[in-house]
């Protein structure tokens, strides 16, 4: 039986986004309401998969190990609610990759690995580069809107992951 999933961007959805990259555990600030939102989705039977660009690796700012440490920290804090983390270490200034959002390869790998039913799944992101690959694959999209009135191709706009979780559960 195919599984339903909520795909999530990381920076700006799970943790506070930092223009200088979030790669140190001590700077990984979990956004209020994120853990309760993830618990609601998990309790409703959704797989929870992070799809994130981590271009600071390609730029030489941090290493894969730093990403693993942040993910391990979030797993400890959240009680291991995330089923898997997919990340792209590439950046177009150093190396092209189809895995990097706005391309859809990370999504496609997760869909194949977990036998995901995209008609029952969602993508929650805070940037258009999160929304674009999900729209390409016909996965319903929710934008966490940082700036009111943001132009987007997302199906829905909300203010937080908690609001997104409520919307997903209402639409299920």
CATH code of the domain containing 23: 3.40.50.1000
Residue 76 within a domain? yes
Residue 148 within a domain? no
What pLDDT is recorded for position 27? 96
CA distance 22 to 29: 9
Mean of all residue pLDDT scores within the chain: 95
Residue 72 designated active-site = no
Residue 57 within a domain? yes
Residue 145 within a domain? no
Tokens of 116: 């995901």
108-111's contacts with Cβ under 8 Å and 24+ in sequence apart are 108/137, 110/5, 110/7, 110/49, 110/51, 110/84, 110/86, 111/137
Residue 163 within a domain? yes
What pLDDT is recorded for position 100? 76
Please choose, from the candidates 94, 21, 31, the residue with its C-alpha nearest in 3D space to the C-alpha of residue 52.
21
Residue 84 within a domain? yes
Q: Which of 11, 66, 126, 130 is catalytic?
A: 11
Confidence band, pLDDT 50/70/90 cuts, at residue 148: confident
What pLDDT is recorded for position 146? 86
Residue 147 within a domain? no
- Structural domain count of the chain: 1
Residue 11 designated active-site = yes
CA distance 54 to 61: 10
pTM for this predicted structure: 0.95
What is the gyration radius of the CA atoms in the chain, in angstroms?
15
Write the pLDDT tens digit of every residue in 68-92. Answer: 999 999 999 999 999 999 999 866 6
Q: Mean pLDDT throughout 125-139?
A: 97
Residue 149 within a domain? no
Residues 6 or more apart whose Cβ sits within 8 Å of residue 68: none
What pLDDT is recorded for position 41? 98
Range of the domain at 167: 8-138+155-171
- Hey, is 87 helix, strand or coil? strand
Please choose, from the candidates 121, 125, 28, the residue with its C-alpha nearest in 3D space to the C-alpha of residue 78.
28
Instruction: Give yes or no for residue 16 having a pLDDT over 90.
Output: yes
């Amino acid at each position: 039986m195919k599984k339903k999933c909520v795909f999530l961007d990381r920076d700006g959805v799970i943790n506070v986004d930092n223009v200088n990259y979030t790669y140190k555990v001590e700077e990984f600030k979990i956004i209020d309401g994120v853990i309760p939102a993830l618990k609601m989705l998990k309790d409703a039977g959704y797989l929870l998969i992070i799809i994130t660009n981590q271009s600071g690796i390609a730029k030489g700012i941090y290493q894969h190990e730093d990403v693993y440490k942040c993910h391990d920290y979030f797993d400890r804090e959240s009680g291991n609610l995330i089923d898997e983390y997919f990340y792209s270490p590439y950046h177009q200034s150093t190396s092209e990759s189809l895995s990097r959002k706005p391309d859809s390869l990370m999504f496609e790998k997760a869909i194949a690995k977990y036998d995901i039913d995209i008609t029952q799944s969602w993508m929650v992101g805070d940037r258009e580069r999160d929304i674009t690959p999900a729209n390409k694959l016909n996965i319903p999209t929710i934008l966490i809107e940082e700036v009111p009135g943001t132009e987007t191709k997302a199906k829905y706009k909300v203010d937080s992951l908690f609001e997104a979780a409520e919307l997903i559960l209402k639409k299920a």
